[in-house]
Amino acid sequence: MSETTDILSVAERWAGEGRRLALATVIETWGSAPRPVGSHLVIDAEGGFEGSVSGGCVEGAVIAESLEVIESGAPRILEFGVADETAWRVGLSCGGRIRVFLERVA
């Protein structure tokens, strides 16, 4: 079973437990990116999460935004990118850019 399937299975199980959830999906990368297109992160309303869309400060920002998406129900697209020379400082050791689609799923 692939990592993507595992995360989607976690989301399905959590939804079955009555948790309110958001799903983050990497939809585009440019240059070096820590995770490929299709990578997922599932987040519950208490801030619990499973999976990965990047790492460092990006993951924290996605989790924070997901709590608003869970409350509002409005999906969003998040964009992150840094110049290679500043990548290490903000937790993106690879540089590059990523776009993440964030949606409420339960």
Is pLDDT at 5 greater than 80 in this prediction?
no
pTM for this prediction: 0.84
**What pLDDT was estimated at residue 47?**
93
Kindly report, residue by residue over 56-92, the tens digit of the pLDDT. 778 899 999 999 999 999 999 999 886 555 555 555 5
* Residue extents of the structural domains in the chain: 3-104
Q: Which string of DSSP letters, residue by residue, matches 18-77?
A: T--EEEEEEEEEESS-SS-TT-EEEEETTS-EEE-SS-HHHHHHHHHHHHHHHHH---EE
**pLDDT for res 83:** 58
Top-confidence residue, 44 or 32: 44
What is the percentage of the chain residues whose pLDDT exceeds 90? Answer: 61
| Residues above pLDDT 70, as percent of the chain | 82
